[in-house]
Structure 1
Amino acid sequence: MAGSAHNSVRRHFVGRLFAMLFIATIAGSMSAASAQDYPTRPIRLLHGFAAGGAADTLSRILANGLSKRLGQPIVIEAKPGSGGNLAAAAIAKAEPDGYTIGLVTGAHAISPALYKALPYDSVDSFEMISTAVYYALVIAVRADYEAKSLGELIALARAKPGELNYASVGFGSTHHLAGALLETTAGIKMVHVPYRGDSLTVTALLGGEIPMIVGTPVLLAPQIESGAIRGLAVTSPARSKLLPNVPTADESGVKGFDVRTWAGLLAPKGTSPAIVKRLNTAVRETLADPETKAALETAIGGEVQGSTPEEMRALIQSQIVKWADVIKTANIPRL
């Protein structure tokens, strides 16, 4: 009797095991088929900045190339707010089916150190797809300002600690932290004044509201070429193609200074490896297209550079460590 009961339990267990294996096999087959057919409908591409800005422009250029390679429309959706955090949260919460992806910038790696609490993890809540572009920033003053070089600006700031104001696109932006890093690297003290966008910082500079700004090469190049603004230094180790006559911060005496922001694409955590691979291939093919490459470089004044998902993940992890150190050293309050 006991043996009969034992056999019954065993048969029940084996039956359940085969049923589970069968379901898993069917699900795996369906998933593989789904990934193989992907995509079959339009894909939504989110970014966290204002329409018409750099992130929006990059998204539209990339979407055009991706659409050609994936055979489906890419619908751009701007979800601005909190330095890109609102869009990142929406991407993290989206269905991981490959039909919601996002473009994030260098701010994505700043947020973990800047905000006390985020509704997502900047690394573990996502599947990385590929980086797309890297670009430097420019430290600039009005053409008639007394400091004619970065060295002279630093000397002026040392002579008048806490009296030199500089503008950026917002608190916690890469522009802001580039200024903070300059302070700690050069041993000076300045005052950060945040504005709501690049164009407003230029208006403030030209209007005499502010003596110095940290901005993007693509925005400042026309003003620098016209002579209205003086570019003191670019923040990358190499000179900008848009501003070949503007020296690097390293050339100007701030050795080892390197601040480059970037943009890349990611998807919600749990998106299948096959879909991520399909998207990575499409992104890298898009970036290799000469017309698209030229459009991206013109849009941001930087360089086009794709990556593997693993390389993008490593980039974000290293940037989180870097900016956390800058924020701590500069005593920037967390939000």
Structure 2
Amino acid sequence: MTRRFIGRSLQALASLALGTSLWLNAASALAADAYPSRPIQLVHGFGAGGNADVVARLVAQKLGEALGQPVVVDIKSGAGGAIASANVAHAKPDGYTLIMLTGAHTVSGALRQNLPYDSVNDFAFISTVSSFPFVVAVKADHPAKNLADLIAMSKTKGVSFSSVGVGSTQHMVGELLAAESGGEFLHIPFRGGGAPALAVLSGDVDMLSDTLTVAAPHLQSGSLRALAVTSAETWPLTPAIAPAAKTLPDFEVRSWLGLAAPKGTPNAIVQDINQKLHAILAQEDTQKALAQVGSMAAPSTPEAMQAQIKSEIERWKTVADRRNIKVE
């Protein structure tokens, strides 16, 4: 009697669990079908007018049109993008909070010891959006005429370089140059997106490595001179600038921007945004707008984006160990 009772109880519990699972799956599918029913927040962690902001606003407009609901850009700057990442990692995973991540996400994941989130496991990655190299540049009258000259100079009297802060991707480009070339590169961090370029223009610092968004106006005016782009091959948008790999074989740093959501966001929503984003990135006007900030469209699967982030975190950990870089 007791065995029969226990058996029936277990069968009832199993049926209840199965029914609950089916109900949850149905509810999730229903929610995805109704998505979106209100405006969506697109967060990023960098200043207004910078690379992340320009691309985020472009994507927000296009994605809003595709989804039929406004996508509103929300800037939560600071700590190399970590404040924005923490905000989204802990947001409700319902598809109404997205983030425009940058390559800085992997640098923070590699260098920062006390992040309030896991750089890989606390996010549902959707797709990379664009890819771009950095420009290594000096003041127009600087004695280094090319990257080989700069490296030779670094080995005799040292070279200083500016960035937007310790632990930024711009900082790590300079550290990788030092590690790969064997030269002496002294990092001078600044606050503010325009400050690193101004320090080079004033002659206080030798070199900067930054995005084309920052460097292009100074290159076009002739006040800065490009020595290299950090792509392995000639970058199609800057054919006159030699790739760094021409001087340092295999040297390459290509940063990126990409969309993600909090972990647990329904897969149906992730896939829907992924497909719409791919269509947006295939549009000629989108590609032209990205080219204006030195970027090229680079759509991916969610799985490929996650794999790329894991790989880059390991790469920057290796560089940090080689250069003895510590970030709290």
Aligned counterpart, 1:53: 50
1:68 aligns with 2:29: no
- Tell me, yes or no, if the aligned pair for 1:241 and 1:302 is still in contact at 8 Å: no
SS at match of 2:69: coil
Q: 1:313 aligns with which of 302, 306, 319?
A: 306
How far does residue 219 in structure 1 lie from its aligned partner after superposition? 2.3
Aligned counterpart, 1:292: 286
Aligned counterpart, 1:13: 10
1:114 aligns with 2:111: yes
How far does residue 112 in structure 1 lie from its aligned partner after superposition? 2.1
1:135 aligns with 2:132: yes
Superposed CA deviations along residues 87-112 of structure 1, whole A, max 9, x for unmatched, are 11111111111111111100111112
Structure 1 segments, 4+ long, off by >6 Å, are none
How far does residue 206 in structure 1 lie from its aligned partner after superposition? 1.5
Q: How is 1:153-192 mapped onto 2 (pairs within 5 angstroms)?
A: 153-161=150-158, 164-192=159-187
Q: 2:249 aligns with which of 241, 255, 267?
A: 255
CA distance in 1, matches of 2:179, 2:6: 70
- Tell me, yes or no, if the aligned pair for 1:217 and 1:243 is still in contact at 8 Å: no
CA distance in 1, matches of 2:180, 2:15: 64
TM-score (norm 2): 0.96
- Tell me, yes or no, if the aligned pair for 2:95 and 2:261 is still in contact at 8 Å: yes
How far does residue 140 in structure 1 lie from its aligned partner after superposition? 0.7
- Tell me, yes or no, if the aligned pair for 1:45 and 1:100 is still in contact at 8 Å: yes
CA distance in 1, matches of 2:15, 2:62: 46
How far does residue 21 in structure 1 lie from its aligned partner after superposition? 2.5
Aligned counterpart, 1:229: 224
How far does residue 259 in structure 1 lie from its aligned partner after superposition? 0.8
TM-score (norm 1): 0.94
SS at match of 2:245: coil
Q: 1:215 aligns with which of 190, 210, 213?
A: 210
Aligned counterpart, 2:295: 302
Q: Structure 1 residues 126, 98: CA separation in 2 closer, same or farther (over 3 Å shift)?
A: same
How far does residue 192 in structure 1 lie from its aligned partner after superposition? 0.3
Aligned counterpart, 1:93: 90
Between 1:123-132 and 1:5-14, the stretch displaced more is: 5-14
Superposed CA deviations along residues 217-271 of structure 1, whole A, max 9, x for unmatched, are 23222322322111111111122344321111122x2111101111101111111
- Tell me, yes or no, if the aligned pair for 2:228 and 2:242 is still in contact at 8 Å: yes
CA distance in 2, matches of 1:78, 1:243: 29
How far does residue 56 in structure 1 lie from its aligned partner after superposition? 1.1
Query: Structure 1: which 5+ residue stretches go unaligned?
Result: none
SS at match of 1:294: helix
CA distance in 2, matches of 1:296, 1:324: 30
The structure that has the greater radius of gyration is: 1
Aligned counterpart, 1:36: 33
Q: CA RMSD in A?
A: 1.4
Aligned counterpart, 1:104: 101
CA distance in 2, matches of 1:245, 1:12: 76
CA distance in 2, matches of 1:145, 1:26: 68
